[in-house]
Amino acid sequence: MQKKTSTNILLKNTKANKKSVLLVCDEMISKYNATGAYVFAHIAYHICKNGNYDSAPSTAAIYIKSSKSSVIEYIKKFIDDGLLKEVTGKKSFRKALEFNDNNDFIDVIIRYHSFVNGTKGQSNNVSLVRVYPHELKLSKCNKQEFLRKEQFFTAYIRDKLANQRINNKSNLKFDTFVDLAHKFNLATNTIKKVLLALKTSKLIKYSKEMFGVLKIKAGDLLLSEIDNKVKSIRRALKPKSPVQRFNNPSYY
């Protein structure tokens, strides 16, 4: 019988994690940060799908490519803030997690439920952005948060530009860098660094117009993703049969 080594476990986890997808909420980026939003995205999906999250923190850590200690830290924050609560799980040594009744996060919870379960009552106050944590090339720990921000904003801008194209527009406009920073509760310099990194990677183009208005367009490397997103939006807008309408969307 082959002995389980750390290398074998890593290979197994890598295969399982090959097509990992997360639905990250913009509101959670604003209230916490990118890493916190990624942790919550993983937990929220399973609560919506299964009624609770009853897995070890290490499972979430592997899936989102983070450390176990970071996952534990954010779970504690979510509980302290009244977003999640601990309940009896299947294992006697571990508590499961459920959504808590907290009006401060009701729009976030409604949005996740509406997407995962196809329920009515979708909140328009928050957005869910699809990201792929397995694509993150993480090395130094101090850069992980920044790289997640880069990934999130690439997907966020992709989705917004796709919606703009549906409405026959080709760019996004924000009052200033400060305006965009305030939207996500980030430092202005952080937003500038993220957008500059995306511009350098040819994912976006941006310029400042009169009165400092920030105009963002798709770069060459983002155009095909926007095309795919536009097709997806148009398919979603087509009338569906009752069977199609209530099929649960799955991204895991």
Q: Do residues 32 and 78 touch, judged by C-beta distance below 8 A? A: no
CA 78 to chain centroid:
16
Confidence of residue 23 (pLDDT cuts 50, 70, 90): very high
- Give the CA angle between residues 21, 24, 30 to the nearest 5°: 160
Question: How much is the average pLDDT of 46-69?
Answer: 93
The share of the chain scoring above pLDDT 90, in percent, equals 42
The β-bridge partners of 23 are: 130
User: What pLDDT shows up at residue 141?
Assistant: 59
Q: Would you state the pLDDT for residue 251?
A: 46
What is d(CA 241, CA 239) in angstroms, rounded to the nearest whole number?
Answer: 7
- Band the pLDDT of 169: cuts 50, 70, 90: confident
Q: Residue with structure tokens 């459920």?
A: 98
Residue among 173, 156, 183, 185 nearest 212 (CA): 173
pTM for the structure as a whole: 0.81
**Spatial contact of 74 and 32, defined as CB atoms under 8 Å apart:** yes
Q: Of the given ranges (10-14, 78-82, 158-162), which has the lowest mean pLDDT?
A: 10-14
| CATH of region 139-220+230-245, choose from 1.10.10, 1.20.58, 2.50.20, 3.40.50 | 1.10.10
Structure confidence at residue 183 as a pLDDT band (50, 70, 90): confident
For residue 245, the surrounding DSSP H or E stretch is: helix 242-245
pLDDT single digits (tens) 86-99: 999 888 888 999 99
Residue 38, pLDDT > 50, answer yes
Closest CA to 119 of 245, 235, 242, 252: 245
pLDDT at 208: 85
Q: What residues does each domain of the chain span?
A: 17-117, 139-220+230-245
Least confident of 1-15, 19-33, 112-126, 168-182: 1-15
Contact 153, 198 (CB under 8 A): yes
Asked if domains 17-117 and 139-220+230-245 share a fold, the reply is yes
Residue 66 pLDDT exceeds 70: yes
DSSP secondary structure string for all residues of 128-197: EEEE-GGG----SHHHHHHHHHHHHHHHHHHHHHHHHHHTT---EEES-HHHHHHHTT--HHHHHHHHHH
**pLDDT, greater one: 79 or 10:** 79
Buried b or exposed e, range 207-237, using 16+ CB within 10 angstroms: eeeeeeebebbbbeebeebbeebbeeeeeee
Q: Taking the mean position of all CA atoms in its chain, how far away is CA 75?
A: 16
Residue 6 has pLDDT above 80, yes or no: no
pLDDT of 146 over the 60 cut: yes
**Contact call for residues 75 and 47 (beta carbons, < 8 A):** no
CB atoms within 10 A of CB 127: 16
User: Does 163 or 74 have the greater pLDDT score?
Assistant: 74
The average pLDDT across 102-116 equals 88
Please give the angle made by the CA atoms of 18, 60 and 141, to the nearest 5 degrees.
Answer: 85
Q: Which residue has the tokens 């009244």?
A: 82
pLDDT tier, 1 (very low <50, low <70, confident <90, very high otherwise)? very low
Supply the pLDDT for residue 89.
85
Fold (CATH) for 17-117: Arc Repressor Mutant, subunit A (1.10.10)
